[in-house]
Amino acid sequence: MDFTKLPKATVSRLEKLGIRQPFDLVLHLPLRYEDETHIFNIADAPMHASVQVEASVAHSEVSYKPRKQLLARVIDDSGELWVRLLNFYPSQQQLLAVGNRVRLLGEIRRGFHGDEMIHPKIRVVSAGTALPDALTPVYPTVSGLSQPTLRRLIQDALAACSLHDTLPAELVERLDLEDFGRAVRLLHQPPPEVAQRQLAERVHPAWLRLKFDELLAQQLSMRLAYQRRRERTAPVLTPTGTLSESLLAQLPFGLTGAQQRVLAEIRRDLASPYPMQRLLQGDVGSGKTIVAALAALVAIESGHQAALMAPTEILAEQHYRKLADWLTPLGIEVVWLAGSQKSKAKAATIARIESGEVQMAVGTHALFQESVGFARLGLAIVDEQHRFGVHQRLALRNKGGSPHMLMMSATPIPRTLAMSYYADLDVSVIDEMPPGRTPVRTRLVQDARRDEMVDYVRTVCATGRQAYWVCPLIEESEALQLQTAIDTHAQLAEELAEFGVGLVHGRLKPAEKAAVMADFVAGTLQVLVATTVIEVGVDVPNATLMVIEHAERMGLAQLHQLRGRVGRGGGESNCVLLYSAPLSETAKQRLKAIYESTDGFVIAREDLRIRGPGEFLGSRQSGAPMLRFADLERDTDILEQARDVAEQLLQSQLAVAEAHLQRWLAGREELLKT
């Protein structure tokens, strides 16, 4: 089978379906099936179920009452039936010409004239035309590519491609798997006796085999990426421990058990000669920053440099402040590198990073990737990496060896996702909050009661506490979003004239942003009006109230992050989610989830359930081969099995692993890169 011999239009339509080579056709599986293997007598056919009858057309007319429609009466030996087409082409009229013998596939319902089928599938046959001996597959397709064409192409591909089993017979037997070739053939042409329900619910052994193979390919590619990383070298970091001891002595708190545990995991990796790629997960407020600082000290004590990168300048700046506070007293030089800095100052800072004088640099990712070559980068820390995607690996320029990487995320990744898309990373989890946190009370309030909420802000601020007021997300237009923030600020400044009301948004110059944030931290501003720029990382323990306007427009992770800005000090904290009715079904589910739980993992699981993994991971993750057959919610058992088998194959049957990957990822080599 040769794609170059197909018409260009067909090739481009196939491409839209993700089909670029014959084997892709083999894996293009039906959405559902039509049963044309059986003919019912009209009189005996069940109502409201898909059935096929064979009858002759006794009457056919175009009727205009109540609207234009084609109406035909067909009869078989047992009875009669009406066929009604509301929109029709002349060609369909021909199919229903009086005297024709037709096979009709559709649902019979009670109609005005009697029992009828509306828009059945119609085929003209002659007496004795053989019935197919398999169910008829219905494939996902695009316009211009008909089912019969697609079916024929797939049949050709099934004949042309080798459908041998990539797995050894012993393994297939041990796991009680269906044979691969049998499985795909069955799915494309199921014999009539196959339980359709098993096919529809994808629990038929043939489906299970495809899901297993798909997950195995995913696990193999992720584990191979992991192994390839272990072939590269990274500096072995041998810290003295003196600086971290001083830092710990200086802190007003002791580390939680969870913080100590993850730190030990990180230190162990840093002492090994291949690059760490560890994901540090911890809910909002779980205290990842101090862990990052102590990890940086491992590099610095070993005579290497450390870098911390954040997605936005506002967040990078916060990290810079905190790290400078902690590390400067230890005699460490911490520098700040921002896109907005004057080019002369920036060049000077970069020169000092490149000479190795600077031990710790903080800034935004983009900047580091573009313009800085480190002299001796030992550890790169990436905050809120979920915004970038795990697969968009950072290519840091480092003189000599790959640096160790620590990625931090406050978006908890549900276990199944961690096991699949993140299988090439090591994961540490901070599963314990620092003591003294107060659970945040969440309230859902319709926006008609906005005025009451302004009063509420006044009451809270009168007690010496502070509040955030988050402006709605307006996806269509950044300009509009900015204007809304400015208007909201002006209005609140008037309504709450007795307090200092500040405004921070994405368009402020970094210095202006920093000044506003500093005033809020110092308490000279009591209310901070913000766009979602405060979503990540901002830490002001005295702020105990968060009001979010148009909460129904925000994603679950975003709401959880925003709410995490409060409840950080002592004192009761509240989060008010203002929403505007009517709510869409998904918005309702999201608000319910955020209202019912403050546990990031529970919320992430709900988020995954509501959105599915593709969206959950975000388009930035497009490097990750999305699963087509397996469902991470339902197929956890298969995933676990695939993971174990992948591990075994890589250890003792590498050729099998390679053959399997070749089949599943051929033509998609980009997915194998890291």
Judged by beta carbon distances under 5 to 8 A according to partner kind, the member of Mg ion, ligand ADP, none in contact with residue 401 is none
The set of residues, in sequence order, having a beta carbon less than 8 Å from that of 615 and lying 6+ positions away, is none
Give 282 or 378: the residue with its C-beta nearer to ligand ADP.
282
Least separation, in Å, of the C-beta of 408 and ligand ADP?
A: 7
Q: Per-residue x/- marks for Mg ion, 478-517, CB under 5 A?
A: ----------------------------------------
Judged by beta carbon distances under 5 to 8 A according to partner kind, the member of ligand ADP, Mg ion, none in contact with residue 277 is none
From the list 535, 504, 501, the residue with the least C-alpha distance to 517 is: 504
Rounded to 5°, the CA angle 150-187-191 comes to 105
Least separation, in Å, of the C-beta of 664 and Mg ion?
A: 38
Judged by beta carbon distances under 5 to 8 A according to partner kind, the member of Mg ion, ligand ADP, none in contact with residue 221 is none
Q: Rounded distance, CA 93 to CA 63, Å?
A: 12
Q: Is 192:35 a contact under the CB 8 Å cutoff?
A: yes
Residue 600 interacting with Mg ion (CB under 5 A):
no
Give 288 or 304: the residue with its C-beta nearer to ligand ADP.
288
Least separation, in Å, of the C-beta of 561 and ligand ADP?
A: 9
- Report DSSP letters for 606-655, one per residue: HHHHHHHHHHHH-GGGGGS---SS--TTT-HHHHHHHHHHHHHHHHH-HH
Q: Is 37:132 a contact under the CB 8 Å cutoff?
A: yes
# binding residues, Mg ion (CB under 5 A): 1
Give 310 or 587: the residue with its C-beta nearer to ligand ADP.
310
Q: What is the DSSP letter of 473?
A: P
From the list 48, 57, 43, the residue with the least C-alpha distance to 104 is: 57
From the list 585, 595, 586, the residue with the least C-alpha distance to 563 is: 595
Residue 403 interacting with Mg ion (CB under 5 A):
no
Residue 537 interacting with Mg ion (CB under 5 A):
yes
Give 311 or 537: the residue with its C-beta nearer to ligand ADP.
537
β-bridge pairing 121-124 and 101-110: antiparallel
Give 189 or 256: the residue with its C-beta nearer to ligand ADP.
256
Judged by beta carbon distances under 5 to 8 A according to partner kind, the member of ligand ADP, Mg ion, none in contact with residue 434 is ligand ADP
With CB atoms as reference, the residue minimizing the distance to Mg ion is 537
Judged by beta carbon distances under 5 to 8 A according to partner kind, the member of ligand ADP, Mg ion, none in contact with residue 253 is ligand ADP
Least separation, in Å, of the C-beta of 327 and ligand ADP?
A: 14
Give 243 or 292: the residue with its C-beta nearer to Mg ion.
292
Residue 311 interacting with Mg ion (CB under 5 A):
no
Residue 414 interacting with Mg ion (CB under 5 A):
no
Helix, coil or strand: residue 177: coil
Give 103 or 278: the residue with its C-beta nearer to ligand ADP.
278
Judged by beta carbon distances under 5 to 8 A according to partner kind, the member of Mg ion, ligand ADP, none in contact with residue 484 is none
Give 167 or 315: the residue with its C-beta nearer to Mg ion.
315
Q: Rounded distance, CA 528 to CA 421, Å?
A: 37
Least separation, in Å, of the C-beta of 249 and Mg ion?
A: 23
Q: Is 198:341 a contact under the CB 8 Å cutoff?
A: no
Residue 285 interacting with Mg ion (CB under 5 A):
no
**CA distances in angstroms from 12 to 4, 9, 149, 581, listed in the order given:** 11, 5, 14, 43
Least separation, in Å, of the C-beta of 554 and Mg ion?
A: 19
Helix, coil or strand: residue 337: strand
Give 206 or 323: the residue with its C-beta nearer to Mg ion.
323
The set of residues, in sequence order, having a beta carbon less than 8 Å from that of 249 and lying 6+ positions away, is none
Least separation, in Å, of the C-beta of 251 and ligand ADP?
A: 8
Judged by beta carbon distances under 5 to 8 A according to partner kind, the member of Mg ion, ligand ADP, none in contact with residue 638 is none
Q: Rounded distance, CA 431 to CA 181, Å?
A: 45
The set of residues, in sequence order, having a beta carbon less than 8 Å from that of 568 and lying 6+ positions away, is 285, 437, 539, 540, 541, 543
Least separation, in Å, of the C-beta of 428 and ligand ADP?
A: 12
Least separation, in Å, of the C-beta of 411 and Mg ion?
A: 12
Q: Rounded distance, CA 358 to CA 323, Å?
A: 14
Give 472 or 537: the residue with its C-beta nearer to Mg ion.
537
CA atoms within 13 A on the CB side of 409: 26
Q: Is 574:468 a contact under the CB 8 Å cutoff?
A: no
Of the candidate spans 174-182, 458-466, 537-545, 593-601, the one that interacts with Mg ion by CB under 5 A turns out to be 537-545
Least separation, in Å, of the C-beta of 470 and Mg ion?
A: 18
Residues within the interface to ligand ADP (CB under 6 A): 253, 255-256, 259, 282, 284-290, 410, 434, 537, 539, 568
Find the binding residues for Mg ion in span 62-101 (CB under 5 A). Answer: none
Give 218 or 411: the residue with its C-beta nearer to ligand ADP.
411
**CA distances in angstroms from 71 to 60, 80, 110, listed in the order given:** 6, 13, 15
User: Which positions lie near Mg ion, rule CB under 5 A?
Assistant: 537
